[in-house]
Amino acid sequence: MSMICVTGAASGLGQALTARLRADGHRAVTVDLHSVEIAADLSSPGGRAAAIAGVLDRCDGRLDGLVPCAGLGPQHPPDRIVAINYFGAAAMLDGLTEALAAAGSDDERSAAVMICSNSTTLTPGAHGSLAQACVDGDEPAALALAADTHPAVAYAASKVGIGRLVRHRSATLGGRGIRINAVAPGPFLTPLLQEGLDDPATSDAIKNLPIPLGRMGEPDDIVEVVTWLLSHSARYVHGATLFADGGIDSSLFPDRFP
């Protein structure tokens, strides 16, 4: 049985992933604002510290996997989006690195799977100074920049930060017995997406996305990818971001590689 921490576990992808992990016989340590083992607000340093302490207490300093699913969409204040989506996720990774390293080995590495987004390639301005401030770890600067940024751009920039974090950390974490990868979903049916569909400012953009597979995703479509990346079957996949968006990115940018 593996011990895996899931944040954002009270709803959406985190909830679906937790159910799948437990059905497969794993021990899922859950973090969210409510209805989980560890109630913590990952938008603040104090909340992140409390979450990390709670996870370490339950895993006894040894953690096989981490999936920071907690996140907010563009219907929320842009500074809070960045605080949770990037800095909350990065803090959980940093705070649990020693526990992940304790479980990793050359034969069976531990794994972190970060949640990115295909909005990173669809949103103009996503790769600007806000994303760079995230990667630099400068939270005050990032939050100040976010406050003057459209929420959709702030969301995408926070996910650009996640994608870069995976690449930047791959060498160091790989040397410590930890694999790190990311999944970049397109729209999939969760309460987070429903907020976007209900918002007149974003509804049409979501509905009009061309999806070559002909449908929006379901949480289980993403869960399958995450659980594979956590598993020994993905043992040589490291430092990668895997798009799981029904072909949206490839159809819009067929000549962009990688």
Catalytic residues: 155
**Token reading at 122:** 């669809």
**CA-to-CA distance for 32 and 9, rounded, in angstroms?**
6
Peptide bond just before 258 cis, omega within 30 deg: yes
User: What whole-number distance in Å separates Cα of residue 129 and Cα of residue 162?
Assistant: 14
CA 95 to CA 55: how far, in whole Å?
Answer: 10
Q: Which residues contact 236 (CB under 8 A, 6 or more apart)?
A: none
Query: How far is the C-alpha of 30 from the C-alpha of 213, rounded, in Å?
Result: 32
- Residue count of the chain: 258
**Given strand 38-39, what is the order of strands in its sheet?**
38-39, 27-32, 3-7, 65-68, 110-115, 178-185, 241-244
37 vs 32: CA distance, rounded Å: 8
Provide CB contacts within 8 A for 55, sequence distance 6+: 5, 29, 31, 38, 63, 92, 95, 96, 99
